[in-house]
Amino acid sequence: MGNIAARAVLAMAVLAVLTLCSCTGGRQAASNGAKSDDPVDQAIPVAMPTAHESHDGAADERFSDPSPAAGPGGKSSGRGRLSVTVEWPGAPAEFRRPAGRSPCGGLRRVPLGIHTLGGVRDAVVWLNRLDGREAASKSSPGRPGALSLRDCRLEPRVVLMDGGDLLVRSHSEQRERVVVRPLVGDVSTSKVKAREVLADFWLPVVGVEVALPMTEPGIWQVHSKRDPVASSYVVVANHGFFATTDDRGVARLDRVPAGRYQLVAWHPPIRAGQAAVEIRREVTVEADKTGRIKIAMTAP
């Protein structure tokens, strides 16, 4: 009886091995182009996340910014890209709270727009050539800008333009007077201009809009006469390689000719009476590559 049981077990083992070999051969045939009748071989493939997706389907910022493509036939484009992150993880808590109330009664804006991960919003980033040549021509002729005035406060905090008209529109129930002053005349050296007034005008009623020609490069301070503390800043670029940081503190400069540059990160004054925050750093742009740079802000 024992011998019979042993032979039965041995026979079952041999049968299992033969079955396994048959299945493996069938799948191998299918992989070589032969169609298999095995339902396992006909299973629906499952799409896996690529490097451009996170596992919840959202874009992964670390991988969603590919390097600039080379030219036809793999020829170098001669241009690269910079992704600049401006951050201040340890910013003082007082900079994250509204700066009191305006004469109109509303809360002033928070002095520093900062992401939970430390990225700084509304910083302006640009490039200066180190060889004395112009960085590039303007990206588009006369890109306009716009500001809205409500309750003594202008929004947005920073406007980036490269000429054209600055449109200032009233959303206030009260008659408001607006002043425009030059802050920085030469963005290459950040030389502060004399504080002469460029424009001083009234917005008498809701819906009135004034167009100001902004043809001279530089940084301009715009504020309501009743509340100079709540200023906005208009940056008029003299070439195409200017950008503002988004809500996460990231700015992108695309199609930059390869070479050495001075990278400038500028943020408006955080408190009334303070200087603007400015950081300068030498960088090298490589053709057909994306350079990633982090800049840490500190109090002026």
- Show the domains of the chain with their CATH numbers: 80-296 (2.60.40.420)
| Per-residue pLDDT tens over the stretch 205-262 | 899 999 999 988 899 999 999 998 889 999 999 888 999 999 999 999 999 999 999 9
| Per-residue pLDDT tens over the stretch 162-208 | 888 999 999 987 889 999 999 876 676 667 665 678 899 999 989 99
Decide which of 206 and 7 is more confident.
Answer: 206
Candidates 232, 241, 245; CA nearest to 117 is: 245
DSSP secondary structure string for all residues of the chain: -HHHHHHHHHHHHHHHHHHHHHHHHHHHHHHTT-----TTTTPPPPPPP-TTB-TTSSB-TTTSSPPPPP-GGG---SEEEEEEEEE-TT--GGGGS---B-TTSSBPPPSS-B-TTSBBTT-EEEEEESSSS-----SSTT--EEEEEETTEEE-SEEEESSSEEEEEE--SS-EEEEEEEEEEETTTTEEPP---SEEEEE-STT-EEEEE--S-EEEEEEETTEEEEEEEEEE-SSS-EEE--TTSEEEEEEEESEEEEEEEEE--SSTTPPPEEEEEEEEEPTT-EEEEEEE----
pLDDT of the residue at 12: 55
Residue written as token pair 């600055």: 166
pLDDT of the residue at 152: 87
Is the pTM higher than 0.85? The answer reads no
| Per-residue pLDDT tens over the stretch 24-45 | 444 443 334 444 443 333 332 3
